[in-house]
Amino acid sequence: MSTLVRLKKDLDFNVELVSLIDVMKGIAASEFQELQKRKEHFHKRFLESFASFFELIDFGKVEHPFGRVTTERMGIIMVTSDEGFMGGLNTHVINSALAERQKDAELIIIGERGAAYLKGVGEKFEFFPGITEENRYKLAVDIKNRIMQESNAGRIGKVILSYPFPVSFTFQRVELVTILPCTELFEKKKDVKADSEEVILESRLEGIIEHLVAEWITHKLYEVFEDSKLSEFAARTIHLEQSYQELSQLKNILQYQYTKEKHSFIDRGMRGTFASQLLRKRIKGGAF
């Protein structure tokens, strides 16, 4: 009887857990689809507006610290998730970033789980909280201010980002992108109107450059944060699907064991009842 009770408890717990995993999987998939729709619409409009500035001035002719490496010291930003069921994605992000590290690099980690990992391996780093829907833009601005301050002071000359990129819903890879120096912003642009028309600048060119670079870095960080969340939702969905399949198989095994034990218990009870009835008949008939 104790075995049957234990199997019943295990089966009930497994059924509830399978249902919970199925719900969590559906939520992660829905969040992925919703964020993907919003991301594509926002970034397309921003880039179209931002590109218009570079049709007025040829920044390729401008010498500015943000357009070239001023010191060999690096800054490395690693974007990790505080959510569970990530299947080792955080570890891949950190290890890929550390593989690019040069001597005396400044490490910046986003997310408590990533910070715990770096602390566990004895690394020194600066911590920023994990990405949420509410803090995404503020976090991008705070980190932008931090790295521009370090760059202006000459303490870092190159900044790279390591983050999970959602290649597709079923596949994520670690991406490494350079956000300082902003060489792609300072490259020669086609159809620059300043080559044939006079453009009046009401602000210093250096000030315009710093403002545009700040906006571009903020946008890039925000875009990376959204890609990271997309990768998080996708990775969680896939990992939860794997857990769902494994738990479903375990449920079938428990169901079989419970049914088998229940039938065995009933059979033993019937045999005992039959044996006791037969014994009473024999006693009543004077067989003993």
User: What is the DSSP track for 144-158?
Assistant: HHHHHHHHHTTS-SE
Domain assignment of residue 134, yes or no: yes
pLDDT band at 262 (very low <50, low <70, confident <90, very high): confident
The average pLDDT across 60-85 equals 74
Q: What is the CATH number of the domain that holds 33?
A: 3.40.1380.10
**Average predicted confidence (pLDDT) for the chain:** 76
The average pLDDT across 11-17 equals 76
Separation between Cα atoms, residue 95 and residue 122, nearest integer Å = 14
Residue 196: the pLDDT is: 43
Q: Which of 122, 106, 108, 110 is nearest to 80 (CA)?
A: 110
- Give the pLDDT confidence of 159-174 residue by residue, as tens digits: 899 998 887 777 778 8
For residue 127, give the H/E element and its range: strand 126-128
Residue 238: the pLDDT is: 74
Domain assignment of residue 48, yes or no: yes
First to last CA, the chain: 32
Q: Which domain holds residue 97?
A: 24-239
Domain assignment of residue 190, yes or no: yes
The structural domain count of the chain equals 1
Residue 110: the pLDDT is: 93
Domain assignment of residue 6, yes or no: no
**Among 34-43, 77-86, 92-101, the least confident range:** 34-43
Q: Which of 89, 86, 237, 101 is nearest to 163 (CA)?
A: 89
- Higher pLDDT among residues 154 and 279, named by residue: 154
pLDDT(60) > 70: no
Domain assignment of residue 262, yes or no: no
Domain assignment of residue 58, yes or no: yes
Token duo for residue 154: 């000459």
Separation between Cα atoms, residue 230 and residue 38, nearest integer Å = 11
Q: Can you tell me whether residue 164 is helix, strand or coil?
A: strand
pLDDT(194) > 60: no
- Tell me if 262 sits within 8 A of 18, measured CB to CB: no
The average pLDDT across 250-261 equals 78
- Based on the number of CB atoms within 10 Å of its own CB, is 58 exposed (0-12), middle (13-18) or buried (19 or more)? middle
Separation between Cα atoms, residue 85 and residue 240, nearest integer Å = 7
- Higher pLDDT among residues 278 and 137, named by residue: 137
Q: Percent of the chain having pLDDT more than 90?
A: 11
C-beta pairs of 211-215 under 8 Å, 24+ apart in sequence: 212/50, 212/53, 212/185, 213/66, 213/148, 213/182, 213/185, 214/144, 214/148, 215/50
Which of 147-151, 200-204, 231-235, 271-275: highest mean pLDDT?
147-151
Domain assignment of residue 273, yes or no: no
pLDDT(275) > 60: yes
pLDDT(193) > 80: no
**Among 40-49, 69-78, 120-129, 186-195, the least confident range:** 186-195
Domain assignment of residue 11, yes or no: no
Assessment of whether the complete model's pTM goes beyond 0.85:
no
